[in-house]
């Protein structure tokens, strides 16, 4: 996974491992037409992605993997080694931005009751707190980690669309997959790039906008958020990627008879 640049920002994709999801993760798909998306065992195999962003002043980690979990679905545990390969230790991370609070995005926040990133503040969409923590709407390990971070005074919820999280790192509220889901917009000079979290899971969703993700808390709102993103990305020509895209690679939207994703990296258009 290659480091890339957005103006003066350096972006390094890092993976925590692999998710092996059943095809039923998308509830209305004719898989006879999309067999190429499935692995040999019939699962959707997707990286568990995160992104290091070096602003020059701060080191930001966008999403925190699933943690040291290995079972039939989650083959996690690789993030510490991936960070080390990128020349970064947990103690170097100033800020962790969680696009949402599903367990494969918060897994390394707390280990054995202690913050894994000892200096980092954790930012997340404020609307996720009620769903995941107050109402226990997710995995137990998620709400326990968030409560531990709250007791330690390490949490700063994000409520405002466009809020600056660090120099050149900005929140873009995209609710639907979860109530507080947010994308991250990287901006430096005239250059922009987007990290979409789980607003979209695989590039095929761009070509198949009617696909329903069974993990979307509010499918209609999630679909509206995706459509707004597609228009924004198409009009601006901005590169983007998402937490489970193949190779965590950046691409752009191309318009023909329909929209499709073109893996083109961050080079000149």
Give domain status of residue 53, yes or no.
Answer: yes
CA distance 214 to 70: 22
What's the pTM value of the predicted model, to 2 decimals? Answer: 0.96
| Average of per-residue pLDDT values in the chain | 94
CATH number, position 201:
3.60.15.10
* 76-80 own/partner pairs: CB under 8 Å, 24+ apart: 76/16, 76/17, 76/48, 76/104, 76/107, 77/16, 77/17, 78/15, 78/16, 78/17, 79/14, 79/15, 79/16, 79/17, 79/50, 79/108, 80/108
Structural domain of 150: 4-262
C-alpha closest to that of 55 among 183, 173, 165, 155: 165
Reported confidence tier of residue 265, pLDDT bands at 50, 70, 90: low
Q: Does the structure show a pLDDT above 70 at 256? A: no
In a domain, 267, yes or no: no
First to last CA, the chain: 21
Q: Is residue 245 part of a domain?
A: yes
Instruction: Give the three-state DSSP class for 85.
Output: helix
Residues 133-184: pLDDT tens digits? 999 999 999 999 999 999 999 999 999 999 999 999 999 999 999 999 999 9
Q: In total, how many domains does the chain have?
A: 1
> For the residues 234-261, what does the mean pLDDT come to?
88
DSSP of 191-259, one letter per residue? EEEEE-TTS-SSTHHHH-TT--BTT-SSHHHHHHHHHHHHHHHHHHT--EE-TTSGGG--BEEEESSSE
Q: Is residue 217 in a domain?
A: yes
For residue 62, being part of any structural domain is answered with yes
Whether 173 is in a domain gets the answer yes
Percent of all residues in the chain with a pLDDT value above 90, rounded to a whole number = 88
Instruction: Report if residue 22 sits inside a domain.
Output: yes
């Amino acid at each position: 996974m290659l480091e890339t640049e957005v103006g003066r920002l350096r972006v390094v994709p890092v993976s925590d491992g692999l998710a092996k999801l059943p095809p039923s993760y998308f509830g209305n798909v004719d898989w006879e037409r999309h067999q190429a998306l499935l692995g040999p065992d019939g699962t959707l195999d997707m990286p568990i992605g995160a992104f290091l962003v070096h602003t020059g002043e701060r080191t930001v980690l966008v999403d925190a993997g699933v943690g040291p979990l290995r079972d039939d679905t989650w083959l996690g545990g690789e993030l510490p080694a991936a960070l080390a390969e990128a020349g970064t230790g947990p103690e170097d991370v100033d800020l962790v931005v969680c696009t949402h609070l599903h367990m494969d995005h918060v897994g390394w926040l707390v280990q054995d009751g202690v913050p894994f990133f000892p200096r980092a503040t954790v930012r997340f969409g404020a609307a996720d707190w009620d769903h995941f923590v107050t109402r226990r709407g997710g995995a137990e390990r998620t709400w326990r980690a968030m409560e531990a971070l709250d007791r330690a005074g390490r949490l700063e919820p994000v409520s405002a669309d466009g809020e600056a999280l660090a120099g050149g790192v900005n929140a873009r509220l995209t609710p639907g997959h979860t109530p507080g889901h947010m994308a991250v917009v990287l901006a430096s000079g005239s250059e922009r790039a987007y990290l979409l979290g789980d607003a979209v899971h695989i590039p095929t969703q761009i070509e198949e906008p009617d696909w329903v993700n069974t993990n979307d808390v509010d499918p209609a709102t999630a679909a509206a958020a995706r459509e707004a993103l597609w228009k924004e990305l198409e009009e601006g020509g901005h590169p983007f990627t998402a937490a489970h895209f193949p190779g965590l690679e950046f691409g752009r939207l191309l318009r023909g008879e329909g929209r499709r994703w073109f893996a083109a990296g961050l080079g000149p258009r």
